[in-house]
Structure 1
Amino acid sequence: MTIKLFSYILFLPILLLVCGLPSQTQAKQTDTLSVTRVEAERIFLERNLALLAEKLNLDQADALILQAKAWPNPSLEISEVNFWATPHQVAYGDGNPPLFRNGFGENRQLSAQLDQLVQTARKRKKNISLQVANRQLAEVAYSEVLLSLKAEFRTLLSELQFQQNNVRILQQQMQVLNQLIRAQEVQLRSGNISKADFYRVRALDLSLRAELKEALQERNEVQQSLKSLLLLPAETTIYLEDSPNISRSSYLLTQPLDSLLARAEKYNPDVRVAQSDLRVREAEHTLERAMRVPDLTFNANYDRGGNILLNFIGFGVSMDLPFFDRNKGNIQAAQIGVQQGRYLHTLRVQEARNEVVRAYSDYVELADLYESIDETYINELDDVLAGVSRNFQRKNISLLEFLDFFDAFKDNKLLYFDTIRSLESKKEELNLLIGSDI
């Protein structure tokens, strides 16, 4: 008995400590990151791996420019070296005196040649221009990825805001409905209401629970996408702090359609990529035209014992004779590539204009819908819902009237928040199409 009591006293503090501390899993499940839109975007720009990887293409392009600026290395060749000479060769030959006083190199033959390639037709400069054009293309591609990811990220933030409001509305309705069900249970036991009316309210409760479950799943999907873009731990829950009530003036377009079209023709990401790609194709064509001119290779050679002179030093130059290959195929292919680039650039400009007109029209229609919604009416719906519930309990209104308002409350609230979400998404689409924020 004493041993058991002693064991209990010994392990009781440990048991209390273990039970009192939350597990690591439980701690991770409660991690919540509350941020504003500005704070979330700052984290996104600092930590997004796709942006960081795309930015490395700029460093890679800089390295290729550095490599293009390097001159060709000279080439050194040493040949015709004999490591020994037989007595017969020495007796019947002229023989060579040693190179140095210690006898090194006596009766030895060797040849050395130094070659240096010199590019003609300014090939080196044109290759540098090609790499610079590739660098500009990489820079424009990075800007395109940045704008696309920012538009996607901001749209996801708007979606998260909508889902948060959707969950809040359903939870608010369930809270009102739970209070009503408890009151209805008392009335049912007293025989003041019919079982059919009570079950109709219970059926509405089950329907709301199913909708809430679906809303929570949709919110989790948005959370998953945002956490991937923000590089956050999987256990983190993101909560957007921004208020859903946004100033109406922020949705007024201050620029006419013609101005947006002009900006899209210059700054649309796809147009800029097509324009940069055209510059690369033109630089490739210029380089291929220069490649038809043969390069020159200058050489200086030294020969010992293999010529009429004991120590012979000579100079020379070599070049390919462009009899059979004048690089016509590559020049023609590059010229066709330039024409393709021009067609694609014109196509991207036309596509950008069409997309801007469509997005602008959609935005104006959504802005008109938003202007038609009375914010005061939307804000007062919460108090009206509580009043309608009380009037139903007091039998001042019928079950059908209560159910109609209950559905209208949710539909009107969601319409308001969905309009805001659609406006923000369409605005980000316009920002992407014109290459900057409106």
Structure 2
Amino acid sequence: MVTGGSAHAQTPGNDTLKLSLKETEERFVNNNLALIIQRYEISQAQAQIITARLFNNPDFNIANGLYNPETKKYFDMSRNGGEYSAELSQLILTAGKRNKNIQLARINAEQATYQFYDLMRTLKYTLRSDFYKIYFQQQSAGLYQEEINSLSSTLAVFKEQYKKGNIAQKEVLRIQSQLYALQTEQNDLRDAMDDVQSELKLLIRVSPGLTIQPQISTGSDSKPVLENIVYQRLLDSAYTHRADLKSAGLGLEYSKLNLQLQKSMAIPDVSISLAYDKQGSYIRNYTSAGIAFSLPFFNRNQGAIRQARIAVDENKVQLQSQREQVESELDNSYKSALRLERLDSSFDPKFKADFNQLIGEVFKNYQRHNISLLEFLDFYESYKTNTLQFNMLQLNRLTALEQINFVTGTPFFNQ
């Protein structure tokens, strides 16, 4: 079973960074720019709650006569000749509009939080998958390098023997051809490694010039883990913990509350006012209190109410669609992981060690001329193919378990 190592982050050279899975995740959580941006989105959404809680400011206006033709004065403020007026008014929202706007702002803030966790879920799946992929790619690259070094030494010996006339040229060319094929395959693997390295380095924000070397421990106890977990538990966990499902549920809640708000918008708001007029009214020093509101004869917010109703129906379908998508994803991921676990369990744990020992004996026998060149190369090709397939199986198994974590939104298999 592959588990996260406990080695501390270090840079033994100028271009290699050794990291355990735990250390990689810590760098990701603290440094990833996409997560930092999403945290700002949460802060902005929370600030909108403050805005929604605020009351409307009162309005105040004052007016003074520009010119008094009787006193021939501009801005006449005299007791007998001047004229000025003032008014103070306050808009009062009715039908609970303020409270509904506060609730909508809170839902927006919750959705921003769930979007953050869903982004983290998605990126962490990529992070952990890349971590394991790099590890097994480096194991495969090491295999290629071992074979290349071995064949390079053999080729050098063959060239000397060919010059002395001890072996035929076709044997030299056969070794040389095999060596070139290995070097080409190794180069293709390194290209793929560079792509994954680039993605992982961007996720945890380390220098592009570094090479990440995953530190994990491997053993021969790859015991099945899915057989101990009931499928329904995985499905229930997905319903409970998937942040995108929670966000979709909040989207339905938001649309229902918005429908209530749009209905309340059909009820006019009220404006109350206090006014003073020095002498512009029917009496001197006129004071008044007033109330104003629109008469909802024509516009009763019919279009917005209908639109809000449609949004409720749409969000219901959207939520159901996401739930069914989760069920489909989990079913597919579970079956794939189960097949890989059974395949891995069917392998004899001693097979790899026995095969490694066998290839060593094959090389010795070839040097002693106990086997032919073709037999030697055939064994080498089988050894390479077997080791690469074994690495791929282990990678696919771990990636399938990570897919279960991703689909359920729960770290069931936190290797």
- Equivalent-residue separation in structure 2 for 1:114 and 1:254 (angstroms): 72
1:292 and 1:322 mapped to 2: Cα distance? 7
Q: 1:422 to 1:229 in 2, by over 3 A?
A: same
Match of 1:46 among 30, 37, 53: 30
Q: Which runs of 4+ in 1 moved over 4 A?
A: 250-253
Q: Which moved more, 1:262-271 or 1:141-150?
A: 262-271
- Where structure 2 has 5 or more consecutive residues not aligned to the other structure, the ranges are 1-10
Shift of 1:267: 2.5
Q: Structure 1-normalised TM-score?
A: 0.87
2:184 corresponding residue in structure 1: 210
Between 316-325 and 387-396, the greater mean CA deviation after superposition: 387-396
CA contact (8 A) 2:333 2:403 kept: yes
Match of 1:86 in 2: 69
Does 2:332 correspond to 1:355?
A: no
Mapped contact 2:224–2:345 kept (Cα < 8 A): no
TM-superposed CA distance for 1:203, in Å, is 0.6
Query: Structure 2 CA distance, aligned partners of 1:162 and 1:382?
Result: 17
- Give the Cα separation in 2 of the matches to 1:270 and 1:309: 67
Equivalent residue for 2:7?
Answer: none
Corresponding residue to 1:57 among 41, 48, 57: 41
Deviation at 1:83, TM superposition (A): 3.7
CA contact (8 A) 1:180 1:393 kept: no
**Alignment-derived partner of residue 407 in structure 1:** 381
Alignment match of 1:114 (pick from 74, 88, 93) = 88
Q: Distance in 2 between matches of 1:312 and 1:228?
A: 72
- Give me the whole-angstrom Cα distance separating, in 2, the residues matched to 1:173 and 1:359: 36
- Percent of aligned pairs with the same residue? 27
State whether structure 2 residue 295 is matched by structure 1 residue 312. no
Q: 1-side partners of 2:190 and 2:328: how far apart?
A: 37
Q: CA deviation at 1:69?
A: 0.2
Query: What letter is aligned with 1:35?
Result: L
1:381-420 alignment runs, 5 A limit = 381-420=355-394
2-structure distance, mates of 1:83, 1:336: 55
Q: Following TM superposition, by how much is the alpha carbon of 1:168 offset from its aligned partner in structure 2, in angstroms?
A: 0.5
- Map of 1:73 onto structure 2: 57
**SS at 1:300 equivalent:** strand
Describe the SS at the equivalent of 2:228.
coil
Whether 1:36 aligns to 2:20 is yes
Structure 1 gap segments, 5+ residues each: 1-26, 91-97
- Give distance in 2, aligned partners of 1:30 and 1:105: 88
Larger Rg: 1
**SS of alignment partner, residue 112 of structure 1:** strand
1:346: Cα distance to partner? 0.8
SS of residue matched to 2:68: coil
Q: Distance in 1 between matches of 2:141 and 2:71?
A: 105
Letter in 1 for 2:150: V
Deviation per CA, 1:282-302: give whole Å up to 9, x if none.
121111111111000000001
SS in 2 for 1:320: coil
What are the Cα deviations for residues 79-102 of structure 1, in whole angstroms up to 9, with x where unaligned?
2x1144233789xxxxxxx97xxx
* Residues matched between the structures, number: 399
Instruction: State the secondary structure of the residue aligned to 1:87.
Output: coil
* Structure 1 segment 183-332 matched on structure 2, within 5 A: 183-245=157-219, 247-249=221-223, 251-332=225-306
Q: How does 1:359-378 map to 2 (within 5 A)?
A: 359-378=333-352
How far off is 1:252 after superposition? 4.2
TM-aligned CA deviation for residue 380 of structure 1? 3.7
1:194-230 alpha-carbon deviations (Å, 9 max, x no partner): 2212210111011111111111111111111111111
* Whole-Å separation in 2 of the counterparts to 1:159 and 1:369: 19
Whole-Å Cα distance in 1 between the matches of residues 186 and 162 of structure 2?
A: 27
Displacement of 1:166: 1.2
User: Which residue identity does 1:33 align to in structure 2?
Assistant: L
How far, CA to CA, are the matches of 2:51 and 2:283 in structure 1?
42
